[in-house]
Amino acid sequence: MAKATSSKVTKKPAASSAKPAKSPARPEDRFAEDQGDGGETHQVAGDGIAVLTTQQGIPVADDQNSLKQGVRGPTLLEDFHFREKIFHFDHERIPERVVHARGYAAHGFFELTDSLSDVSRADIFQRVGERTPAFVRFSTVAGSKGSPDLARDVRGFSVKMYTKEGNWDLVGNNIPVFFIQDAIKFPDLIHAAKPAPDRAFPQAQTAHDNFWDFITLTPESMHMVMWIMSDRTLPRSFRTMEGFGVHTFRLLDDDGASTFVKFHWKPKAGLQSVVWNEAVKINGADPDFHRRDLWDAINAGDFPEWELGVQLFDEEFANSFDFDVLDPTKIIPEEILPVRIVGRLVLDRLVDNFFAETEQVAFCTQNVPPGIDFSNDPLLQGRNFSYLDTQLKRLGGPNFTHIPINAAKSPVANFQQDGHMAMTNPKGRANYEPNTWAPELGGPREDPVRGFRSFAAEPDGPKLRARPESFADHYSQARQFLVSQTAIEQKHIGDALVFELSKVERPDIRSRMLSHLLNIDTGLAQTVADGLGMQSPEAAKAARPTNLELAPSDALSIVKNGPPNFAGRKMGILVTDGTDAKLFAALTKALDAEGAVFEVIAPKIGGVTLSDGTPLPAKQKIDGGPSVLYDAVAVIPSAKGAELLAIDKPSKDFVSDAFAHCKFIGLGAEAAPLFKKAGVYDDLDDGCLPLASAKDVGRFIEACRGLRFWPRELTVDLDARPDA
């Protein structure tokens, strides 16, 4: 850090006798005058450094001192450089989003792989192989910009596609349903989920009275509750979660005929999640865990990819269900209506500036090109109304579309003018339409053929405030989601409900939630009641009885849709001085061949010396690289190194946490002292594989292709014990 400079000031009272302090050396002192093309004079640094200027382009001579009346005098009002600099600093923070405040984004492209020209006139769905620029923002919903990445929360999955006929914003989530059926309840939902207004906590979590009070009074949320209490709200990475358009939309062909559609993004890396205790510790070790993962993957050329799938159906098919396809708390199971893959989304470029792009990007559900239209889903209709208000508040005026990240890449022509920060205004004589001026003066005209047309739906009944009876089944699909999970996933849902409700102080709210669970599954209700130490109440009154016959859907399980290999995942390798060089080389070679990445963790960041004398730098010091940051771990110290690690608390935590979180563990031949001191040596299981020599590497990597060694959880969790 540069040292501060001081100035000696004379004790004479006359200001004119005081000489200005000499400023420290600055790049500006090296400026040389240069003649640019065309004879204009401008300044450049002698060594090529650009000249510092004001926002008006005026070169700055001194950026270290404000303009004063004498060296100890008051700052002068005429100091325009200081005024501009502090003015901009005072306003460099815009209001964060009310929801989805914490986000991260990247650029990429959408490529059509199967034409939908038979059902949609949308240009983006016409030509197989054509690529459309895209920008994708991932986010959490409830927390502030400063909240951690691994909060238990819904994840936003919003895609802006810059099509040849305007921007298409598919503003979705990583969960295909939502808490509420009507947008008028959205402010209440978010108010209830956010920190309580009298105390401003808890942050980025729903484990509190307000949230569960609202939820238990809103039975339509019960399907979503099953999703948010599942591992879907603890994704391992943005790269390993699904995305959904949530609502039912319409596709329109050239004749205006409609086909209903639901949109799905399916990750090529498979579905993956973390466990709750692990998420809590990741938030402490690296609150930017998801951001860093996306940054590292794209920088490494391991570009995240999803397939775009659609569920297409007509009115007759929609009417065949016991539920309503306009109800955003419902899904159409993939076993009933398979997802047709029609394209792929690839993220291959990071943003140049986080604020300019990720923070200022403005999504809106109503941004759809010709050929895509809306259904009467009341939540979607309300979102269409809401988003423009949000952009006006956050981005300062109606011209947020002039910001590059929001600007269409197709031609834009209209008569909208002026307003805050207008970058362009219409050219020509006319600023109204219709007009009789010649084309060069009169501006654009509407096009009945190419222009956007809405589906010609017939009105349906009187104006009133009501819910259709077809929206009334609140428990059947909640049960279907539960029974579609594997045993370990069902356990995690029960654990999550017990944890969340244990933070609720009012017993009546906890009891009310138990009454809803009884309508979903009596076994789950009993598990939660036992975990809370409460008696089960009577079941809540249901508008419709729960359909117990809905078939399980394998598509709803993370474990059943996991990755086929260890590619794209991260191995943590704990080493010490004297670690077997051949073993390390064989392990890292196998990880490279698998398409995985690894990090070396050592007692000191300077690294270690392997058994053959090779120096090996470390990526992490042991107390800065806990095992929660890795998908699997290999512990391969030397004999002396293992004895030293055995007295180190972070090293013991590295082992015990990896074991508790059901990760696959590779044990070096000399690692036993550390595992004994960590208290897990006597409990080693089939998820702990020997790494005594290079020949053991293949079997270890093969085992790591599984998500976790889930049988272990039943032995390390008190809630799994029947006698607890």
User: Which residues are catalytically annotated?
Assistant: 100, 173
Residue given tokens 């809306």 in the structure block = 374
Q: Which uninterrupted H or E stretch holds 635?
A: strand 632-635
Residue 243: closest CA among 377, 383, 369, 339 = 339
d(Cα 396, Cα 402) in Å, to the nearest integer? 12
Spatial neighbors of 470 by CB under 8 A, at least 6 apart, are: 323, 324, 327
**51, 45 Cβ separation under 8 angstroms:** yes
Residue 603: closest CA among 588, 614, 592, 618 = 618
Residue 75 DSSP code: B
Spatial neighbors of 693 by CB under 8 A, at least 6 apart, are: 580, 582, 583, 669
Strand, coil or helix: what is 341?
A: strand
Residue 364 DSSP code: -
d(Cα 493, Cα 231) in Å, to the nearest integer? 8
Residue 667: closest CA among 684, 653, 679, 682 = 684
Q: Are strands 372-374 and 249-252 parallel, antiparallel or unpaired?
A: antiparallel
d(Cα 25, Cα 337) in Å, to the nearest integer? 70
d(Cα 348, Cα 425) in Å, to the nearest integer? 34
Q: Which amino acid is at 163?
A: T
User: What angle do the packed helices 276-285 and 649-660 form, to 10 degrees?
Assistant: 150
Question: CA dihedral in degrees (6, 11, 17, 19; nearest 10)?
Answer: -10
**706, 562 Cβ separation under 8 angstroms:** yes
Q: Which residues of 78-96 are buried (b: 16+ CB within 10 A; e: fewer)?
A: eeebbeebeeeeeeeeeee
For residue 21, count other CB atoms closer than 10 A to its CB: 14
d(Cα 528, Cα 273) in Å, to the nearest integer? 22
